[in-house]
Copies of this chain bind each other. A is one copy, B any other.
Amino acid sequence: MSERGTLIVYSGPSGVGKGTLLQPYLSRHPEACLSVSVTTRAPRPGEVDGVHYWFITEERFAQLVDSDGLLEHACYSAHSYGTPRAQVEEQLAQGRDVILEIEVQGAMQIKRSFPDAVFVFILPPSLEELRRRLSGRGTEPPQVVEDRLAAALRELGFAKEYDYLIVNDDLERAGSRLEAVIAASKCRTANLLDYVERMVNCHEHA
């Protein structure tokens, strides 16, 4: 019933299939959009400024941090990443749902400032399967795969801080779960208490 959009924090270990799971959702839901992060790292081949990331300098990043212009920021493999606040606030005010695909460190910062955001964490069906998916790309040496698996284990330690956990065992099934979780989040009691109060007060003053 709220005019305001919902902020959806979306995390999960590398290789779990977050992007693949999200694409069909975004196609079906034009009212939802993916927030574009800022980063100080250089674009990889094929990455487009303003689409995959906003590529900015260290200096501009520091300015954004100082002016409280980032909802969250984190350092990852010696580069800085962050979520521009203005863009997110504007989309939410227009009634659009905003999805932040961020890692656990940033998610915990959002939790403090947006307690009514919906926190969704994507789980692999098993660690063996995650290892297969990380190796399956075939572009990384075994040590990198092991390092990513170790990182995944650390991230799994934060799963308990999220509202919903979705096992990505099958793309269609996991997609339905994502649909349900986002739709249900709009019915969470906190979102409708004003509505109930208006209804009851309206009667009292009638």
Closest 8 CB pairs of A and B: A184-B184, A180-B183, A165-B192, A180-B184, A164-B187, A180-B180, A181-B184, A127-B203
A–B complex contacts, Cβ < 8 Å, 13 sampled: A123-B192, A123-B196, A127-B202, A153-B200, A153-B203, A157-B200, A159-B189, A159-B192, A159-B193, A160-B189, A177-B187, A180-B183, A181-B184
Q: How far is the CA of A26 from the CA of B49 in the complex (A)?
A: 49
Interface residues of A in 153-194 (CB under 8 A from B): 153, 156-157, 159-160, 162-167, 176-177, 179-181, 183-189, 192-193
* Most chain B beta-carbon contacts within 10 A, residue among A123, A179, A185, A192: A192
Q: What residues make up the interface of A, taking CB atoms closer than 8 Å to B?
A: 1, 121, 123-124, 126-127, 153, 156-157, 159-160, 162-167, 176-177, 179-181, 183-189, 192-193, 195-196, 199-200, 202-203
A165 x B189 contact (CB < 8 A): yes
- Which chain B residue has the least Cβ–Cβ distance from A126? B199
Q: Residue of B at shortest CB range from A180?
A: B183
Copies of this chain assembled into the complex: 2
Are the CB atoms of B187 and A165 closer together than 8 Å?
yes
Return chain B residues, CB-CB under 8 Å to A185.
184
Describe A's contact surface by its main secondary structure: helix
Is A199 a contact partner of B127 (Cβ separation < 8 A)? yes
Contacts of A123 in B (CB 8 A): 192, 195-196, 199
- Set of chain B residues within 8 Å of A180, measured between Cβ atoms: 179-181, 183-184, 187
Please measure, in the bound complex, the distance between the C-alpha atom of A75 and the C-alpha atom of B202, giving whole angstroms: 30
In the assembled complex, the Cα of A127 lies from the Cα of B206 at a distance in Å of 11
Contact A163 B192 (CB under 8 A): no
In this complex, which of A126, A153, A160, A187 has the most chain B Cβ atoms within 10 angstroms of its Cβ?
A187
